[in-house]
Amino acid sequence: DGGITQSPKYLFRKEGQNVTLSCEQNLNHDAMYWYRQDPGQGLRLIYYSQIVNDFQKGDIAEGYSVSREKKESFPLTVTSAQKNPTAFYLCASSMGWGGYTGELFFGEGSRLTVL
């Protein structure tokens, strides 16, 4: 089935460690996104990529990094510079320019807890 796969579902990290969250899609979408969800704050955009080998900072990019070497993959690294990384992370994709309808397709999320 077509969709977005995020892994791992749950992740625990010690302070000072970098961790990488995986996001893979087989929808043939050009655009991919990373959102962070905190209780009572809705979703906030971390990074987005509208095409392979290109990505842009969202509203809360500090302490995060991404790469987009393949169309299907958009991994997110939470670095030790991120001051409060405990959160629920959601990856999404959409059709790109010319085909964008406004609909984002989301994965089931990764819950990161810093110990």
Partner 1 sequence: AQKVTQAQTEISVVEKEDVTLDCVYETRDTTYYLFWYKQPPSGELVFLIRRNSFDEQNEISGRYSWNFQKSTSSFNFTITASQVVDSAVYFCALSEAMGAGGTSYGKLTFGQGTILTVHP
| Interacting residues toward partner 1 by CB under 8 A | 4, 31, 33, 35, 40-45, 48, 50, 56, 58, 88, 90, 92, 94, 97, 100-109
Q: Which is nearer to partner 1, 80 or 105 (CB)?
A: 105
- We find the least distance from the C-beta atom of residue 40 to partner 1, in angstroms, to be 6
Q: Which is nearer to partner 1, 58 or 80 (CB)?
A: 58
Beta-bridged to residue 73, according to DSSP, are 24, 70
- We find the least distance from the C-beta atom of residue 79 to partner 1, in angstroms, to be 22
C-beta pairs of 55-59 under 8 Å, 24+ apart in sequence: 58/33, 58/34
CB 21 within 8 A of CB 78: yes
Q: Which is nearer to partner 1, 2 or 42 (CB)?
A: 42
Q: Could you tell me which residues come within 8 angstroms of residue 84 by beta carbon, excluding any fewer than 6 positions away?
A: none
Run of H or E including 80: none
- We find the least distance from the C-beta atom of residue 109 to partner 1, in angstroms, to be 4
Q: Is 95 helix (H, G, I), strand (E, B) or coil?
A: coil
